[in-house]
Structure 1
Amino acid sequence: MKSKAAKTTMLAVLILLPSLVSAQTHRASVRGTVTDPNSAVVAGANVQVINTETNESRTTTTDEDGSYAVSSLPPGPYTLTVERDGFKKLSRSLSLQVNQELRLNASLDVGLIQDSPDDIYAPAEVLKKDSASLGTVIENPQVVGLPLDGRNFYELSLLVPGAVPPAPGSAGSVRGDFSFSVNGAREDSNNFLLDGVYNVDPKLNTFAVRPPVDAIREFEIATSTYDAAFGRNPGAQVNVVLKSGSNDLHGSLYEFHRNAALDARNFFAPGNEPAPKYIRNQFGFSFGGPIRKDHTFYFADYEGTRSREGITRVTNVPTLQERSGDFSQSLLGIPRDPSTGQPFQGGVIPSFFIHPIGRAIAALYPLPNRTAPFANFVSSPTQRDDNDHFDARVDHFLSNVTTLVFRYSLGNRRFFEPFAGPTLSAVPGYGNDVPRRSQNAMVGVTHVFSPKLVNDARFAFNRVASAVNQENQGTSVNRVVGLPELSGNSRDFGLSFITITGFSPLGHEGNNPQDTVTNTFQILDTATYVQGNHLFKFGADIRAVQQNGFRDVQSRGLLNFSPFAYTGVALADVLLGLPLVTGGARVDNAQHLRSQSYHFFFNDSLRVRRNMTLSAGLRYEYNSPPVDATDRANLYDSATRSLVPVGTSGMPRGGYETDKNNFAPRVGLAWTIGAEEKTVVRAGYGIYYDTSPLAPGEALYFNKPYFDFNLFFPLPGLPLTLSDPFPAFFPFPLPDSAQAIQRDLRTPYMQHWNLNVQQQLGSNRVLEVGYVGSKGTKLLSARDLNQPQPSALPQGLPFVPRPVPQFDEINTIESRASSNYHSLQARLQQRLSGGLTMLASYTWSKSIDDASNFFPSAGDPNYPQNSYDLRSERGRSNFDVAHRLSVSYVYDLPFGKGRTYLGDDGAWSKLLTGWQTSGIVTLQTGRPFTVALLRELDNSGTGISALGFGANDRPNVAGDPSLGQRSPERWFNTAAFTFPPRGSFGNAGRNILDGPGYHNVNASLVKNTALSETMNLQFRAEFFNLFNHPNFNLPDNFLGSPSFGQVTSAREPRHIQFGVKLLF
């Protein structure tokens, strides 16, 4: 019934607001003033804009003040003509970019129309004279010309000022996915648009489909003070425009190949061991043309990727003697007989002591293949990544005033990772299958009511189906070794996660299996209205989101064996069948999340004077809390100190009250200075709300009785054994964990502000320098509301006293975090001129917060050490980079036919014709990281969360922890860190040390050979990390680890990719 009401409301809004404008626009506009030779305005002049690819035309006339405006134009090449009796006809060729507001003034000469001069090319406007929005358009020559490892064009977003790569190990960057942060916003605060419609996986706010490079016309990354037409997220607005068909047939056919034989050796790879396997092929095509000339056009593309990569892990496994109970030669020492406390005679456990299930578990390990102490096994199983993508688009001109467009995009990925994560099993057999299928479809109707009013209605559908399943899903390894199964569902079958101190863990990742299908329905109705010097935009963006799935956390259980328990050797405890702690969950928590959003805005771009434009707007965003479709969920209620079913007893269906006052004003000023109009001063301010990912909303499903997790431990006279590791009856059950949501949870928001100056240098080059700042408020974070006070109780206790004794941790989602960002940014950009396209960006910045994301990253858990002392969490953001410089270029070498040098028909001319080079140079300082204690130590005595929260203890620090001379062997001063007294928190702050910087050069060399006037064959050689500079990962930041303070891994060394393309 509620779903029907929501759909009725959406339909009503569509009917009642026929002239509303889309909340995200990808279309362009051109406006200006027409004058005579004496600079007097010319009223009543006819202005026509014609798309030279499709012959679509739009016509208007100048007002009494000589002004004109043509809005809602698709990006592309155009011819603009101006005619008026008594004047010569003026004709200009121009190119409009995505979301561009082009100012093009025209001066008419006195004379007859038939005496008009030939068409004159108007260089692309490099200054933003009518907008205070900060952003950069990545044009087609850059998209197709720059070297891209994996051909992911989204990586070019890092070329713009203010953009930095994600924190290592962040939720949005794992498994080869791409994310980034911009101007202090979190990585999940970016909004991805494809042809103006929503292209996001709302579970983590990453992109949904990724078209291939050859399908992209261009894309814009708007980064600050964009107008009220944009919203949903306060980070970057990544606005991608796909190619469309034209009156001419055009397309491409290509293959790219990368092979380990062409790669350098990783800095840390052992020289006496073979390099791991790597081979990747990417192939595809694109083509577009007319179905009916001047009326109907098509475009389609396909790209396939087939990648096979050996992933190397070095770990420690039991020797054949240790597996049989013989520890006489073991580096781990001699185990003790737990019944006597004395070492086993000769270091050998008698065979009658060995438990059959323990023996079977030990036998799961492979045998050593190296002699290195505590690193006696290396493997390189194959990671498989198969990806296919397809797009189809049809444009149809129904009449001179109505156009139709349809597009469908499909991405299908089959990914297998042989190792599930850095803290999980490091021996083969326990990886993950990660399928992902994404779809994005759009139908649009554009109607020109008059030269002043244009309406664009769009209907979009977005679906992302993703899963993470354990390797060999359906095979019960537990049954093979003799362990019981917690779940009778075959999707949960596998091996319990088993940790054995001193050796690689065994078993499958505890978070799996998980499966999610998320549907997003979007209705947009777009319009622009021109009245004199006003360009009005006003509109709505209405969406309904459905997420159906499951996540069977700990459905196979866990077992922990520790040297602090029975024998002093964890593996010996396994053989005796004596775990320290076990646990597991019985799940019945199928997910059916539902959410709606209603966004409305109004914006006016007013030309106050000929050289000054003021933009002002207001946006309103209503986002309903994600709820379960059947209200089958419980949450912790702090008032009653109990779990309460949602929708009852005052507990809102989504766990918190709807935030209804999300008004976001925007204002911007662009002031063009000087008679030559080559300098623009711009300033802006705005408030931007953040639609959070759906993943935190899954907290609804992790309370009893739908999620029943239990820990088990030995008791006096009641040992815990492998014969019954998950007892159905346990006399002293521990309190349950609970999930809670702040009752008055607010929508996070950021404030943007900037002041910058643009200076035109020549006809195609612009220099921009400015200050950019932001402040994040009410950002999502989590903490334990039931964290106990620090205690000196013995380590290893499964339970510690808590303020609410009937519960273990109470993990609470809150809108309490905040951030600050300040930067100096500079951009030098040259649009295609003399064969050169170039973009250089520099950012000097500092970002501070108390939580950089809702989810953890490699260098910081994003969870407080002390949930009652949040001020101590204030520090540099995980993604903070003080200095970052990127320079990219595409250059057609000036040799050969038609070029500056050797332009004749000689042999050298033929040899040197068609060569092109391109590259990306990146220099950045290191990002911060937090020094912490090993999680299992629980030095503060505040408890280790059963679900992975808490136990984020930090050490004490004295003196300067930084080193003047750093090396991989000693990256920081480890002597500055010490263990705090048992039962206390350390005084070390969050993110107080810098990791390694990043220096990289990617380059390509391209040869174009003309096969005919319309066909070109292109050979490409692309070099990534050209100079093979070792770019180190973060050092080991855990005090108590054997490699504490050492860098033990590096990013990829130099590798080479070859490609061939047929262009027509």
Structure 2
Amino acid sequence: MNLIRRSLSVAHLAPSRPDFFRPRVITAALILISSVVSPLPATAAQTHRASVRGAVTDSAKAVLSGAKIRLIDQETGEIRETTSGREGEFAVPSLPPGIYRLEAESTGHKKFIQLLTVHVNQEIRVNVALEVGAITEEVTVIAPRAQLKKDTPAIGNVIANREIVGLPLDGRNFLDLSLLVTGAVPAAPGSAGSVRGDFAFNVNGAREDSNNFLLDGVYNVDPKLNTIAVKPPVDAVREFEMLTSTYDASFGRNAGAQVNTVLKSGSNSFHGTAYEFFRNAALDARNFFAPADESAPRYQRNQFGFSMGGPIARNRTFFFADYEGTRVREGITRVTNVPTLEERRGDFSHSLFPAPINPFTQQPFPGGVIPDQFQNPIGRAIAALYPAPNRSTPLRNFVSSPALRDRNDDFDVRVDHMMGSASTLAFRYSFTDRSLFEPFSSAGFSSVPGFGTDIPRRAQNAMISETHIFSPHLVNDARLAFNRVAAGVFQENLGTSLNNKVGLPELSTNPRDFGLSFTTIDGFSPLGDEINNPQHSVTNTYQVLDHASYARGRHLVKFGFDFRAVQQNAFRDVESRGFLTFSSRAYTGNALADLLLGLPALTGGARLDNPQHLRTKSYNFYGHDDYRIAHNLTLSFGVRYEYNTPGVDAEDRANIYDATTQSLVRVGSNGVPRSGYDSDLNNWAPRVGLAWTIRDSTVLRAGYGIYYDQSALATSEGLYFNAPFFDLKIFFPVQGLPPLTLSDPFPSFFPIPVPSSALAFQRDLRTPYVQQWSLGIQQQLGRNRILEVSYVGSKGTKLIASRDINQPAPSPAPFNPRPVLQFADITEIESRASSSYNSLQATFQQRLDHGLSFLSSYTWSKSIDDASNFFSSAGDPNFPQDSLNPAAERGRSNFDVRHRLSFSYSYDIPIGKGHTLIGERGLLSSLLSGWQTYGIVTLQSGRPFTIALLPDIDNSNTGRSSLGFGANDRPNVVGSASVSHRGPDQWFNTAAFAIPAFGSFGNAGRNILDGPGFYNVNASLVKNTTVKERFNIQFRAEAFNLFNHPNFDLPDNFVGSPTFGKILSAQSPRHIQFGLKLLF
């Protein structure tokens, strides 16, 4: 174990740096990029920066040209200047988010002053009306906090800092706030991006791996599954914007949400926080399904850290740094069934399971007891690995609550330096490290302690940028970025050969694969380590990008490029310990008795030599113009081109199935592309939209665009799972031959081998794309409130999915051969899936006014597809029942939520200092001053799920993939599934489903039933106490699921299961958390 951990720590370190990562070369490269790009007639704006544009008029509304415009950053003192053009138009592009003082001057007119709050990627329109008078006179205008979007068709919202640091977040993950935006829903449970406490979401019908994450304008993605790489602490985030539809051509890579996060930076004054949040089980409610006779499992969570920023040299150099640590210990309860002490000795006289049959005489063993001389010592040693029962409940006689351990350490460092009035250099480094131990693996694996999982993950993201102001109209931003994610999943018994301890041979000689072969025994918890581990990957992404903006007259033109090179070095030793299956339908009629006799019904395992060295590159170019046709109408149009090279192995050590020769062929030879499929070069993505200001308080917006979607890198890992590099063999008893034995469960020679599985890529695999469209109206209600109602739709085309191209048609015949006899399943990865989404979205928002701010978001939608992801999720495997007719899978998406309402608020209670009630002085005023309350209310209708069968009824090998791909058969629908009173004991009418005739598919569709809805209230109460003016001590009490409403998981969806139609689990009950924070 220690040797492996040392090797992992070395793997986390960056490789030797190429020359272009030396500091002097970086600065020179950035200046060179800026100088090369700057002569372009129109170049692009930074995606994380903002712009202020408007028109200058006099009191008679005549345009004023030549007016001096000045924007002063109130935090750093940076000044940006321009003049109004001949039509009075002005624009100041490429502004970092912040608070600015806008000044406008013209001879013979009073000086105009307005304070503006500029958010990430925002285009603010300011109409400057100058009054006649002396320039020494000033007119100060108070800007509304809620700004209409008068120059962009993009749908989305900015989550400001007050909400990020104030709203109650279970786990303090700022990404949870993405669900406050219309069109966003949590990912389906059990999806690839939502396991192990991670957070994933779907937006406007797009898949969960279709979201793009930006940090300070650079790539922040773990490309393996397209999840976020670095998650900065809440106290480090200045704000983030989530764009969900019809955004402009400067955004790309993915077709879902663009999550645009900006970290805090230093200013001319020191500011910061120090805090700790604490939670344990003492005040928590019990889970709805917690055993009544068991004590609550242990829980303790500590989250602590600091943030601090300020000047290094006033008005010139600034710094910001933060750190956060999280420590969690949580008892994870599992209830399962284990053999009694009598049963593991071979005595089934008092067992609930059938008395075993002697397989040699076909008569029951006398008294239900297997004599010692019949028992296999290896089988008995495996059975002895079970713990003894500790409950008397039939078939649920063992409960345990071993500890989950989770340790996180995160920090960020940022330095900004003004090299002059026209150039700013910025550097940022972000780091996150997680060490997680899960005492139980995922569902379907062992439910007894001893076979848990270690999950280390370390992510790093570094960026250096140079922003150059060539003129008041032209600003360029050049950036270099490096992103690294090192992640692994290792079995608890790493390096320890339990196989040798019980007498089983090891399939692999590599110590990292040691453990216990995964052993399933009907009626009891499985034993052994998860079959997909160990695995580890180090993924490096190098990024070079240049964005600039050119503002002149009525045009704000954007143009830029983005290049990324991705390297993934990995291993994934699937089935490297082998597996053993003992069935109640094999020898004795009792699976445990078969184990004691040493008679497996099925064995198998993989011998592999498939290290992964994946390489891919991405080339992106775009141009966009926001053209103000008239004073109240802006036309937004542009185009983006994206080319993502197919993933290849650096050494071409991979085979792929070739349909022409019906054999495995080496990639990069005989006309087979190195990736297994041809490149897709035709990825042009036009964008067009408009914003029409009908009157000052009303804006009509519409947009349409095509958005390409870069698939997760895990899809390309299919290269590595074909023989001989991945040689998976399966063995089963053959009549007339000696049975399989535990002394040789993985024979090197077997007279009748099972054909191997194979993986293939559609030769003309295309880049998926999504068409987005929207039409909406914004209405300003007062100075600080905005109501927006929009129709938002999308259509996904050529989405990635898979199917078995070697599946025969269903048949009742005893022998139903596959079309290609020398192979079992042949899973082909294709771009064949499609999706459709339509919605009505409404937002009502109030920016801070009289101490109150709120955001209410409602979405009424329907999402349809024939595969909701490349990977499976709870309730849907995303693989066709009938691979010959994948169109029959068309149905509601896994994440289809018809109705979702969220309401978040923050409120400064108007009592005490600064308010008329109670007054300014006295003990009572001190006690009652400074109170705030925050909350998030969520209501959501249920997501769909699919009814499935446990056995293979159609006789066409549905779901029979030794590589893990596949689906279950579905039943016939013979009645209504509705019940008058739905509850955990009966969620639907199970009699509505029947098992079809052997050799046929059922007529039940995919995702035809609704699961439980979701209702939750998170609330916090905050007390602020001022100490010596600059210091504020904040006490927080937070409740998650305040009213302890049971939010049930999906019911058991398998026909024939003893719990079919019942709900067996629920999400978290009420948790209470306390926090103490120092702000200065």
Question: What TM-score range do you get, normalising by the shorter chain?
Answer: over 0.9
Aligned with 2:325: secondary structure? strand
| Structure 1 residue aligned with 2:356 | 335
| Match runs of 1:654-733 below 5 Å | 654-674=675-695, 677-715=696-734, 716-733=736-753
C-alpha change, 1:23 and 1:61, in structure 2 (3 Å) is: closer
Instruction: Work out whether 1:165 is the aligned partner of 2:178.
Output: no
Q: Mean Cα displacement is larger for which, 725-734 or 571-580? A: 725-734
| Match runs of 1:498-517 below 5 Å | 498-517=519-538
- For residue 951 of structure 1, report the CA deviation from its aligned partner: 4.6
Distance in 2 (CA, whole Å) between partners of 1:542 and 1:730 is 51
- For residue 640 of structure 1, report the CA deviation from its aligned partner: 1.0
1:404-449 Cα shifts (integer Å, max 9, x gaps): 0000000000001111111110001111100000000000000000
Instruction: Work out whether 1:969 is the aligned partner of 2:985.
Output: yes
Contact residue 58 and residue 129 of structure 2 kept, 8 A? yes
Match of 2:754 among 718, 731, 734: 734
Match of 1:89 among 92, 105, 111: 111
C-alpha change, 1:1034 and 1:957, in structure 2 (3 Å) is: same
1:109-133 Cα shifts (integer Å, max 9, x gaps): 111111224x443223421011100
Contact residue 788 and residue 943 of structure 1 kept, 8 A? no
Contact residue 362 and residue 575 of structure 1 kept, 8 A? yes
| Structure 2 residue aligned with 1:768 | 788
Amino acid of the residue matched to residue 1021 of structure 1? A
Instruction: Work out whether 1:442 is the aligned partner of 2:468.
Output: no
| Structure 2 residue aligned with 1:71 | 93
Aligned with 1:358: secondary structure? helix
Instruction: Work out whether 1:30 is the aligned partner of 2:49.
Output: no
- For residue 938 of structure 1, report the CA deviation from its aligned partner: 7.1
Distance in 2 (CA, whole Å) between partners of 1:907 and 1:176 is 44
Match of 1:910 among 888, 901, 926: 926
- For residue 944 of structure 1, report the CA deviation from its aligned partner: 1.7
Contact residue 938 and residue 944 of structure 1 kept, 8 A? no
1:118-150 Cα shifts (integer Å, max 9, x gaps): x44322342101110001000011000100111
Contact residue 953 and residue 1000 of structure 2 kept, 8 A? no
Amino acid of the residue matched to residue 248 of structure 2? D
Instruction: Work out whether 1:58 is the aligned partner of 2:58.
Output: no
Instruction: Work out whether 1:102 is the aligned partner of 2:124.
Output: yes
Contact residue 940 and residue 953 of structure 1 kept, 8 A? no
- For residue 903 of structure 1, report the CA deviation from its aligned partner: 3.0
Distance in 1 (CA, whole Å) between partners of 2:818 and 2:399 is 43
| Match runs of 1:937-948 below 5 Å | 941-942=957-958, 944-948=960-964
| Match runs of 1:832-847 below 5 Å | 832-847=848-863
- For residue 880 of structure 1, report the CA deviation from its aligned partner: 0.3
Aligned with 2:458: secondary structure? strand
1:913-952 Cα shifts (integer Å, max 9, x gaps): 0000000000000000001011577765546211222252
Amino acid of the residue matched to residue 1022 of structure 2? V
1:517-545 Cα shifts (integer Å, max 9, x gaps): 00000001111001210000011111000
User: Size of the alignment, in residue pairs?
Assistant: 1053
Instruction: Work out whether 1:789 is the aligned partner of 2:805.
Output: no
| Structure 2 residue aligned with 1:994 | 1010
Contact residue 24 and residue 230 of structure 1 kept, 8 A? no
| Structure 2 residue aligned with 1:41 | 63
1:439-479 Cα shifts (integer Å, max 9, x gaps): 00000000000000000001000000000000031000001
Identity %: 67
| Match runs of 1:602-621 below 5 Å | 602-621=623-642
Contact residue 865 and residue 892 of structure 2 kept, 8 A? yes
Amino acid of the residue matched to residue 965 of structure 1? H
TM-score using structure 1 length: 0.97
- For residue 789 of structure 1, report the CA deviation from its aligned partner: 2.3
1:862-917 Cα shifts (integer Å, max 9, x gaps): 00000011121010000000000000001111111112422332443222100000
C-alpha change, 1:900 and 1:847, in structure 2 (3 Å) is: farther
- For residue 22 of structure 1, report the CA deviation from its aligned partner: 6.3
**Structure 2 segments unaligned to the other structure (5+ residues):** 1-16
| Structure 2 residue aligned with 1:927 | 943
Instruction: Work out whether 1:1026 is the aligned partner of 2:1051.
Output: no
Distance in 2 (CA, whole Å) between partners of 1:581 and 1:718 is 14
Distance in 1 (CA, whole Å) between partners of 2:846 and 2:738 is 76
Instruction: Work out whether 1:212 is the aligned partner of 2:228.
Output: no
- For residue 788 of structure 1, report the CA deviation from its aligned partner: 2.1
Distance in 2 (CA, whole Å) between partners of 1:508 and 1:15 is 57
Aligned with 2:420: secondary structure? coil
Amino acid of the residue matched to residue 419 of structure 1? F
Contact residue 877 and residue 967 of structure 2 kept, 8 A? no
C-alpha change, 1:351 and 1:22, in structure 2 (3 Å) is: farther
| Match runs of 1:223-262 below 5 Å | 223-262=244-283
Match of 1:1013 among 1007, 1014, 1029: 1029
Distance in 2 (CA, whole Å) between partners of 1:936 and 1:800 is 13
Amino acid of the residue matched to residue 782 of structure 1? S
| Match runs of 1:165-564 below 5 Å | 165-564=186-585
Contact residue 23 and residue 524 of structure 1 kept, 8 A? no
Distance in 2 (CA, whole Å) between partners of 1:24 and 1:359 is 66
Distance in 2 (CA, whole Å) between partners of 1:743 and 1:451 is 50
Aligned with 2:163: secondary structure? helix
| Structure 1 residue aligned with 2:768 | 748
Distance in 2 (CA, whole Å) between partners of 1:1024 and 1:412 is 26
Contact residue 940 and residue 985 of structure 1 kept, 8 A? no
Instruction: Work out whether 1:956 is the aligned partner of 2:972.
Output: yes
Distance in 2 (CA, whole Å) between partners of 1:546 and 1:493 is 28
Contact residue 896 and residue 902 of structure 1 kept, 8 A? yes
Distance in 2 (CA, whole Å) between partners of 1:549 and 1:237 is 28
C-alpha change, 1:1057 and 1:938, in structure 2 (3 Å) is: farther
Distance in 1 (CA, whole Å) between partners of 2:1076 and 2:452 is 35
C-alpha change, 1:900 and 1:748, in structure 2 (3 Å) is: farther
1:621-642 Cα shifts (integer Å, max 9, x gaps): 0010000001111100111111
C-alpha change, 1:14 and 1:363, in structure 2 (3 Å) is: farther
Aligned with 1:545: secondary structure? strand
Distance in 2 (CA, whole Å) between partners of 1:285 and 1:389 is 11
Aligned with 1:965: secondary structure? coil
Contact residue 808 and residue 956 of structure 2 kept, 8 A? no
- For residue 176 of structure 1, report the CA deviation from its aligned partner: 0.3
Distance in 2 (CA, whole Å) between partners of 1:942 and 1:514 is 28
Aligned with 1:726: secondary structure? coil
Contact residue 566 and residue 617 of structure 2 kept, 8 A? yes
| Structure 2 residue aligned with 1:811 | 827
- For residue 24 of structure 1, report the CA deviation from its aligned partner: 6.1
Alpha carbon RMSD of aligned pairs, Å? Answer: 1.7
Distance in 2 (CA, whole Å) between partners of 1:13 and 1:789 is 59
Q: Mean Cα displacement is larger for which, 636-645 or 408-417? A: 636-645
1:700-753 Cα shifts (integer Å, max 9, x gaps): 000011000000111223211111100111111221111000000000000000
Distance in 1 (CA, whole Å) between partners of 2:661 and 2:704 is 43
Instruction: Work out whether 1:577 is the aligned partner of 2:598.
Output: yes
